[in-house]
Structure 1
Amino acid sequence: MQERAELLATAAEFVDSGLFREDLARLVSYPTESFSPQGRVALKSYLDDVIGPAFLAMGCTVDRFDSWRGGANSFLVATRHEDPELPTVLCYGHADVTDGQAGEWSAGRNPWTLSDEGDRWYGRGAADNKGQHWINIVSLRLLLEQQGRLGFNLVFLLEGAEEIGSPDLAEFAAEHQDLLRADVFIGSDGPRLAAGSPTVFLGARGGVSFELIADLRAGSYHSGNWGGLLRNPGTTVAAAVASLVDGHGTIQVPELLPAEIPDSVAAALDVLDLVPNPGDPQADPAWGDQTLSPAERLYAWNTLEVLALGAGNPDKPVNAIPGTARAALQLRFVPGTDVDNLEAAVRKHLDSAGFGMVELKMGTSFAASRIDPDNPWVAWAADSLAASTGRKATVLPNIGGSLPSYVFADVLGLPTLWIPHSHPGCQQHAPDEHLLVEVAREGLQIASGLFFDLANSHSPAPASADQPSLTVSSVS
């Protein structure tokens, strides 16, 4: 279709002309760190100066919920209602960033000043998530400029605290279901499978953290005088960990695993070949459940990881039995895992294994979600990406990491399509975070094509005149 091709050419030119880089430099200059009071002030300015005006210019109504209910999170919801019989898309992004880590970037880079090196744009938030949600915002604007209308109804939600666990997001969504009502969710966060692989993923693994603590006595005692008489907390905690996950990464407790891998998920992963990206570590073929493929281990199964383990002072050990030891663990889990009873299951297992003296202390958790790869929206999105790039899209049932996908899938009941515009080596959360120019260019084309197809092609959205109005704003 000629109009579609013209829109994709316009999207590419927006990057080639330097306009996107100019925008990105402005976005990065706001130090919207979600963990600090100064960052929340910058976040308000970012929404006031950049995001709000961008949506108002597109004829959207913009609703603000700053420090919602006095909490750490703020929300902006932009809506444009064109016709109740048209499909409605809910888009998402997060305006906050993680710690800038100023002074730790290479070559004297400033995290709040966009800098160039080859095909990379460096800056905090360039990939996570300002560059990604700005790609989607620009693509909506380009479509509107071309057609004079979107051709669908739009709801765009930005939050301000994803980097600290999206506090209150689920509660906000539940309370504002009418405002956020849609037919499909499209968000951009996280990485593609690889820089050259247009990707659709359908959810995210969840995670729950906990500690094992053996606090057996105050102080340390001479290992010669007391060895063989006093229980060693280091040995005890190490053995307790090994009873949960063995030395080759295989989980030993059935209650910490999902019941099965659904057939549709297995089929989606069967065609996936995990090829390391440049700079990636080499995967250990002997690590993890050997009955599963590498793709199944990463995307369809649970892993129990030791994040920290300690007793005494490993830098300056002394000849003494320490009094305490602890290990920090994290279970990454997929849907189908009984996380509600996880604490009870671990406690029961430790007691039955003779580790009643080990304290179990539960930490933070976030839910898992994914939609069925056979959902018709998945094929629609994959076909759109293929039409825009000339390459087959990679469909992942979920990414291995975490995102608040469950809010949109479970609280709002939407098919969730995540279309990332970054790559695995973007160094998000670390010094030297960057966005690849070519991925940004292709991402803008992908998003433009996706929204064009939603407006002009048949989509799985049911045509219904009963769909409630999302906003009372007029369409300019």
Structure 2
Amino acid sequence: MSPRDTALAAITEYFDSGSFQSELAELVARPTESQDPRGAPHLMAYLTEAMAPMLEAMGFSCQIFDNPQAGAGPLLVGQRIEDESLPTVLTYGHGDVIRAQEGQWREGLEPFTLTEEGDRLYGRGSADNKVQHLINLRAMAALIETQGKLGFNAKVLIEMGEENGSPGLKTFCEEHEELLAADVLIASDGPRLSPDAPTIFTGSRGGALFDLKVELREGANHSGNFGGLLADPAIILAHALACITDRRGQINVPEWRPDSLTPRIREVLAALPEVKSGIALDPDWGEESLTMSERVFGWNSFAVLAMISGVPEAPVNAIAGWARATCQLRFVVGTDVDDILPALRRHLDTHGFQQVQISSADRGSFPATRLDPDHPWVRFAATSLQKSTGQSPHILPNLGGSLPNDCFAEVLDLPTIWVPHSYAGCSQHAPNEHVLKPLSKQALIGMTGLFCDLAEHGAPKD
């Protein structure tokens, strides 16, 4: 057999023997909740007891760093430098998970116990993101095991705070630019477009999180005595929100309507299959002139994440003194990040809502990034994945969600190739999170083949 075939056979045996499932179970068992103080000791243990030993057994040297932002999770950098003349791949993953949501999982499932049911493996982090970096590391291990080398240089960055908005990650990349220097980022996060075929995305939509608040007076006042005499902040806020979009969610703020949905991007998106998520979608929601793929991958969207006025769990007959909504703009390249909130201020003022205060949140915001879908690294990865899996990968100009890709694309100045190993119906960030076994096996084969092709052919030429 060729070296490539030998490595693919080894990774297939790794999955079929149950080793993959066993290792994933060990990772899922670690309650690495970065949003809960009880998870703090497990964040460091994930790196020292799970990641570092795995990487060191693969011939990587490892360093663990405190986060440059006080109180945020630690980071690990692993390196295997075989020859300075070879191309260097940086890969990334995050070992932290969102809150476990104990008691909300269905009967028979526990968040930190990997449970097999048919083709599904349930557990917190099974999809986001433990399975994803496990697949990529074990794909590299298959080359080392069968060929005695990678055939390229590799660096691994594992952070423990992505679910908190990756605090400190950008600063860390700035401070350790030389340590993290590479030719390309090949990493995995987020969902595939379809569970049965690989996906490549080259960036992500940005996310701007902010609060809108109407604060008219201290305390609440009796609705019988003052109804019709005192302005209701909740009503004012509701009307302010209603002027941001029309009734089907089409954005009315002119500066929030991007100019980057070019004919080439529309052509790339037109080649994608119908958007399927495992839940019923609303075809009459969003920008009417766009296809569903264009709405989520090529356009901006506004959402109200939460609203409050008064005491919802115990309402009383009183007009509240204030109302607040937490909102989010998901935005693509072509949106002026610095003008997002100023543009909203101008828009609200124009419509008579000077009373509405705007405050930017200190978390949950990422810039938008996008690599040209015709870039040589994209073509190289697509060709390799098709060869290994027999499936033509879906190519997205960017993920619909947000992730810290700017740290790699802008700070480290790398072409960014993301090959996700989950799917939209995985219940990510919800109870009953799971990963699909057939998808995982295909992903292991695809990534092993991709690394084999990089070892054999080197970096693609511009």
Q: TM-score, normalised by structure 1?
A: 0.92
Whether 1:352 aligns to 2:346 is: no
Asked whether 1:44 is paired with 2:36, we answer: no
Amino acid at match of 2:292: P
The equivalent residue for 1:343 is 341
Query: Which residue among 297, 300, 303 is the counterpart of 1:305?
Result: 303
Change (3 A) 1:316 1:39: closer
Is contact 2:44–2:73 with CA below 8 Å preserved after alignment? no
CA 1:310–1:31: 2 relative to 1, 3 Å: closer
How far apart are 1:234 and its partner, in Å? Answer: 2.1
Task: Tell me the residue number matched to 1:472.
Answer: none
Hey, what does 1:170 align to over in structure 2? Answer: 170
Counterpart residue type for residue 57 of structure 2: A
What is the match of residue 414 of structure 1? Answer: 414
Counterparts in 2 of 1:354-433, with a 5 A limit? 354-363=352-361, 364=363, 365-433=365-433
> For the residues of structure 2 that align with 1:148 and 1:306, how far apart are their CA atoms?
53
> Which shifted more, 339-348 or 137-146?
339-348
For residues 306 and 69 of structure 1, the distance between their equivalents in structure 2, rounded to whole angstroms, comes to 29
Mapped to 2, the partners of 1:98 and 1:318 lie a distance apart of 34
Instruction: Describe the SS at the equivalent of 2:138.
Output: helix
Please report how far the alpha carbon of residue 401 of structure 1 lies from its aligned counterpart in structure 2 after TM superposition. Answer: 0.9
Does structure 1 residue 251 correspond to structure 2 residue 251? Answer: yes
Q: Distance in 1 between matches of 2:395 and 2:383?
A: 11
Q: Report Cα offsets for 1:335-359 as digits up to 9, x if no partner.
A: 1111212222211222221111111
Note if 1:186 corresponds to 2:186.
yes
Percent of matched pairs sharing the same residue: 49
Match of 1:94 in 2: 94
Q: 1:454–1:317: structure 2 CA closer, same or farther, 3 Å change rule?
A: same
Q: Distance in 1 between matches of 2:309 and 2:45?
A: 46
2:259 is aligned with what amino acid? A
Which residue does 1:290 correspond to in 2? 288
Would you say the 8 A contact 1:384–1:449 is kept in 2?
A: yes
Query: Any idea what SS the aligned residue of 2:209 has?
Result: strand
1:406-448, CA deviations, whole angstroms, 9 ceiling, x for partnerless residues?
Answer: 1111111111111111111111222211111111111110110
| Residue-by-residue CA offset, 1:176-226 (whole Å, 9 max, x unaligned) | 111111111011111111211210011111111122211222344455654
Cross-structure match for 2:323: 325
The DSSP-based 3-state class of the residue aligned with 1:203 is: coil
- Give the CA deviation at 1:325: 2.0
Q: Following TM superposition, by how much is the alpha carbon of 1:64 offset from its aligned partner in structure 2, in angstroms?
A: 1.4
Q: Deviations over 1:295-336 (max 9, x none)?
A: 111001101111123434566666654332222211011111
Question: Secondary structure of the residue that 1:354 maps to in structure 2?
Answer: coil
In 2, the alpha carbon distance for the partners of 1:427 and 1:69 equals 30
**Comparing 238-247 with 225-234, which one deviates more in the overlay?**
225-234
Of 130-139 and 342-351, deviating more is 342-351
- For 1:76, give the aligned amino acid: L
Q: CA separation of 1:149/1:398 partners in 2, compared to 1, >3 Å: closer, same or farther?
A: same
Per-residue deviation, 1:228? 4.2
Q: How many residues align?
A: 460
- The Cα shift of 1:373 comes to 0.7
Query: Mean Cα displacement is larger for which, 382-391 or 102-111?
Result: 102-111
Distance 1:61 1:320 in 2: 63
Could you tell me which residue of structure 1 aligns to residue 260 of structure 2? 260
8 A contact 2:3–2:147 mirrored in 1: no
- C-alpha contact 1:264 1:372 (8 A) present in aligned 2: no
| Paired residue secondary structure (1:242) | helix
SS of residue matched to 1:55: helix
Task: Please report how far the alpha carbon of residue 9 of structure 1 lies from its aligned counterpart in structure 2 after TM superposition.
Answer: 2.4
Aligned 8 A contact 2:181 2:412 in 1: yes
Alpha-carbon distance between aligned partners in 1 of 2:203 and 2:237, rounded to the nearest angstrom: 34
* SS state at 2:195 partner: coil
Query: Aligned to 2:324, what secondary structure does the other structure show?
Result: strand
> In the alignment, is the contact (CA less than 8 A) between 1:93 and 1:188 conserved in 2?
yes
Contact 1:119 1:436 in 2 (8 A): yes
- CA deviation digits over 1:58-111, x for unaligned, max 9? 222211113446441311111111112211100001111111222322123222
**Contact 1:68–1:75 under 8 Å retained in 2:** no
- Aligned partner of residue 435 in structure 1, secondary structure: strand
CA contact (8 A) 2:62 2:78 kept: yes
Tell me the secondary structure at the aligned position of residue 444 of structure 1. Answer: helix
SS across alignment from 1:204: coil
In structure 1, the residue matched to 2:27 is 27
Q: Which moved more, 1:174-183 or 1:52-61?
A: 52-61
3-state SS, counterpart of residue 192 of structure 2: coil
- Greater shift, 363-372 or 308-317, is seen at 308-317
Q: Partner amino acid for 1:188?
A: S
What residue identity is the alignment partner of 1:84?
Answer: E
Residue equivalent to 1:121: 121
Q: Is the 8 A contact 1:201 1:399 kept in 2?
A: yes
CA contact (8 A) 2:65 2:74 kept: yes
CA shift, 1:243, in A, is 1.3
> Match of 1:108, SS?
coil
Moved more, 402-411 or 210-219: 210-219
1:369 alignment partner, SS class: coil
Residue range with higher mean Cα deviation, 352-361 or 171-180: 352-361
